[in-house]
Chain A
């Protein structure tokens, strides 16, 4: 019996194997989209619980990895939309945030951890567009569809994110 069939049959050990194979990819996506590891961990739990409940609807048209990724992405997008609605927190309000004062220009290469932390600090709106476009590799049309924004807005948000990162990483 293959892994998916064993998961469907309720074998927790099989589901753990599925988790071990895909958790890092989905956790990383969730952390970057949510902007915090704590929320990323909560999202990961919700994603895998949803996967467990919905495995019956997996038709096998794509790989299980692709199916899990789409499920995770949709869950992250739902979370981002609902948080934005709750907080009514616009990117513009954060533009004046003092925490985005540029640091001194630095000549050393960008360290991964510094970049991860800087991405977490990006304002909502431009962070999601940046993660989807520059990290996940979606084109602007796809980003626009996923986030429910215009293609031009996706471009400007990604541009804004890169400029913020320049400041946060001491590149200007």
Chain B
């Protein structure tokens, strides 16, 4: 084979999916072709490196977020069960009272532990950030108002699109600010659970992020259509939320007396600070 095989065939040769005859023809060509040999070596190196890709550990806060969400679900279920039980009790009581003239008294406590109120609030906020905050500049995806053509189809002019982006950005900003406000309240109220050095480091990091938020906000205000400015603002919001989530997760681990869990989070915070 004197003509270069195409890259598709070389790729198939590198991964070993060619028939013996086709592979032999390519080998014959490669014996005298440096560039094709090099191509095959490169594809094989990528395949080798891909096979060696390891697993990545999720950040320590990931379990805390899941745990909170589960606790919230359990609390909701317990409330719902309680409401059902109250209804049933009321029904039974009314029947019993009719039958015997006695009240049945309170039902047994549910089997679900109720979570601390602030933690339930944190879970709600964290869920809100997960469900509601996938804003991506330049990509229309929320319920921004659109105009309709007489036939009912959506008609979006350039001006409408710009308005839509601004509308979405404002919505996203409001979501982020709400989440941040709630998480800040929790973190501030429970800050005495942290040792002073850790608390000081967190405050310093938050101040840096706040500065970045205010700069990117100013950039968005002066150039509302600038995607990099929008992206930067959203990224800074996300960074702040992640740091506040880490703070709440750390407080939670300290309160539980889970030193290993707390150490994992502090280690993650230090890595981010470096």
Q: Give A residues with C-beta under 8 Å from B.
A: 10, 12, 15-16, 19-20, 23-25, 27-28, 31, 37-42, 44-46, 48-49, 52-53, 86-87, 89, 109-110, 112, 115-116, 134-135, 159, 162-163, 165-166, 169, 171-172
Contact = CB atoms under 8 A, between A and B. Distances in A.
B62 A45 contact: yes
B52 interface: yes
B20 interface: no
A25 B55 contact: yes
B58 A110 contact: no
A159 B11 contact: yes
A87 B139 contact: yes
B139 A110 contact: no
Closest 3 CB pairs of A and B: A110-B49, A27-B58, A24-B55
Contacts of A48: 66
B46 A166 contact: yes
Contacts, number: 99
Contacts of A31: 56
Taking residues whose C-beta sits less than 8 angstroms from the other chain, chain B's interface range is: 35 or more
A24 B42 contact: no
B272 interface: no
Instruction: Please classify the interface of chain A as helix (H, G, I), strand (E, B), loop, or mixed, using the class held by over half of its residues.
Output: helix
B62 A44 contact: yes
B150 interface: no
Contacts of A166: 42-43, 46
B177 to A, nearest CB: 19
B63 A19 contact: yes
B240 to A, nearest CB: 13
A96 B65 CA distance: 39
Given A112-B49, A112-B52, A166-B46, A23 B74 contact: no
A42 B66 CA distance: 10
Contact of B54 (A12, A15, A112, A169): A112
B93 to A, nearest CB: 28
B153 interface: no
A27 B62 contact: yes
A79 to B, nearest CB: 10
B65 A110 contact: no
Nearest to B133: A42
A53 B73 CA distance: 9
A155 B86 CA distance: 60
